[in-house]
Amino acid sequence: MLRHINFTALALVATALVVSPATGFAQQPGAEQKPPEPAQQGEQKQEGEQKSAEQELAARAMAEYDDAAAKLPHSAGAPECVWTGRRVASLLWRDDIDTARRYIELYDRFKCSSDHLKLVFRCVIKQGPLDAKASDRLAARVHNCWITPEGETTAATEKINSTNAKAATVPN
């Protein structure tokens, strides 16, 4: 039995001696840098495109806040009021009353116009039902109503309303 243990230990030591120089060689820096592989170049392009898309999205959001500030009184045009108010209107539309109530508390804490919020939600409702999967359409509708809450519905909205009325859809 003693010979068996010694043979096993000897085999492990021999394996370690053979493997360790190979790993040391693999870890040594080469004198020459390889150019990035095509897969890595594709990843770098995707990262650049993501950053570009994020910058574009940020610029568009800032333009929306600037637009609201220019067209609305301070309490409705302040960025914090625009941000929370649009969320409240969207949440109310989707029947998420509990979450909307928490945002309303935040909206009130910023001393934002509750009258403007009422007008915006009225505007959103008056334009009729939306496709449940079209969250981007809801966001656009809420933003447009935020800027001009007493504005008339657009021709596209009227067309959507007539199509939905024919299909007998019910608001989300």
Domain extent listing, the chain: 56-167
Cβ atoms of 149 and 122 closer than 8 Å: yes
% of the chain surpassing 90 pLDDT: 44
pLDDT at residue 37, as a whole number: 61
* CA–CA distance, 119 with 43 (Å, rounded to integer): 46
Give the pLDDT band (50/70/90) at residue 17.
low
Per-residue pLDDT averaged across 149-170, rounded?
50
pLDDT at residue 109, as a whole number: 96
% of the chain surpassing 70 pLDDT: 60
Give the pLDDT band (50/70/90) at residue 49.
confident
- The region of weakest confidence among 54-68, 123-137, 157-171 is 157-171
Give the pLDDT band (50/70/90) at residue 140.
very high
Cβ atoms of 117 and 88 closer than 8 Å: yes
* CA–CA distance, 51 with 95 (Å, rounded to integer): 34
Q: What is the pTM for the complete model shown?
A: 0.59
* CA 165 to chain CA mean position, Å: 31
Give the pLDDT band (50/70/90) at residue 5.
low
pLDDT at residue 85, as a whole number: 97
Alpha helix positions (H), the chain: 2-27, 38-71, 74-77, 79-93, 97-109, 114-126, 135-147, 155-167
Per-residue pLDDT averaged across 133-139, rounded?
85
